[in-house]
Structure 1
Amino acid sequence: MPRSERSPLLLAGLLAAAGVAHFAAPRPFDATIPRGLPGSPRTWTRVSGAAELALAAGVALPRTRRAAALATAAFFVGVFPANVKMALDWRHRPAPQKALAIGRLPLQVPLVLWARGVARNAEGRS
């Protein structure tokens, strides 16, 4: 299977794993929810987990891949404030945890680009 055919499936797998994690172990995700959002952090954790599962399904299916991949790119941009909150909250933790939290910030860029690339490669195949 060529790399371009594996890429959407890998992205779908990443989204699915993250979505399942939101339900299996929600507490760490709850802690990243910005305080300014209305409602409970657990609700936002569940909504974002469900969104990741839906995006995973959409990216996995060739028929919906382009739209789902574009929505995934937007989703990655939308959850960036949670990563910023985590980095700020973890700034006084031990170095490995602090490095993990800070390292997540620039990771959003390749994730957005990956999702856009999947969308671009799906354009001619829908």
Structure 2
Amino acid sequence: MTRGQGVPLGQAWARWILSLFYFAAGVLHLIFPAPFAGIMPPWVPAPDFVVAGTGVAEIAGAIALVQPWSAPLRKAGGIGLALYALCVWPANFQHMWLDMAKADGGAGLGYHVPRLAFQPVLIWLALWAGQVIRWPFNDHAAKAR
């Protein structure tokens, strides 16, 4: 089933859900930066500036992903959000190490391991929702050509 200009309905839904998620996360980065700066790896310079920049990047990527006027801009939004998810992955590891070092064990491996394991899926989802890649859903159509 497709919607509009040949975009599969699931892909359109993914685009909107991902966009809402990233927009909300971007706003949180700007309004409440301290928790995000607190999990920044020590080798990252100017953590407060980086957190603000990531918030702006999330909001810009979210808007680009759902705007209806430009397919290249949607693709750029998908690529940008995928790269963002890749770049913040070290902060997720840092968060796990800091959290697990707490006396009570923090949120535990049941929280951190799925979160870390989902990051590649989030990267793929941004690329798929932005129509940068079609794999695996339309791979068979490309092979038939």
User: Which residue of the partner structure matches residue 62 of structure 2?
Assistant: 56
Structure 2 counterpart of 1:32: 39
How far off its partner does 1:92 sit? 2.6
Q: Residue 32 of structure 1 contacts residue 82 of structure 1 at CA under 8 Å; is this kept in 2?
A: yes
Counting helix residues as a fraction of each chain, which structure ranks higher?
Answer: 1
SS in 2 for 1:97: coil
Give yes or no for contact 2:33–2:51 (8 Å, CA) kept in 1: yes
Q: Does 1:90 align with 2:99?
A: yes
Distance 2:97 2:52 in 1: 23
Residue 115 of structure 2: which of 79, 82, 104 is its match?
104
- 2:32 equivalent to 1:21: no
Deviation per CA, 1:58-111: give whole Å up to 9, x if none.
111131111110111111111111101111111133356123233321120110
The 3 A distance-change label for structure 1 pair 121 and 47 is closer
Instruction: Give the TM-score taking structure 1 as reference length.
Output: 0.85
Across the aligned residues of Structure 1 and Structure 2, the Cα RMSD in angstroms comes to 2.0
Provide the aligned length of Structure 1 versus Structure 2: 122
Moved over 4 A (4+): none
TM, length-normalised to structure 2 = 0.75
- Give the alignment of 1:1-12 within 5 angstroms: 2-12=9-19
Q: Percent identity?
A: 25
Higher relative contact order (CA 8 A, sep 6+): 1
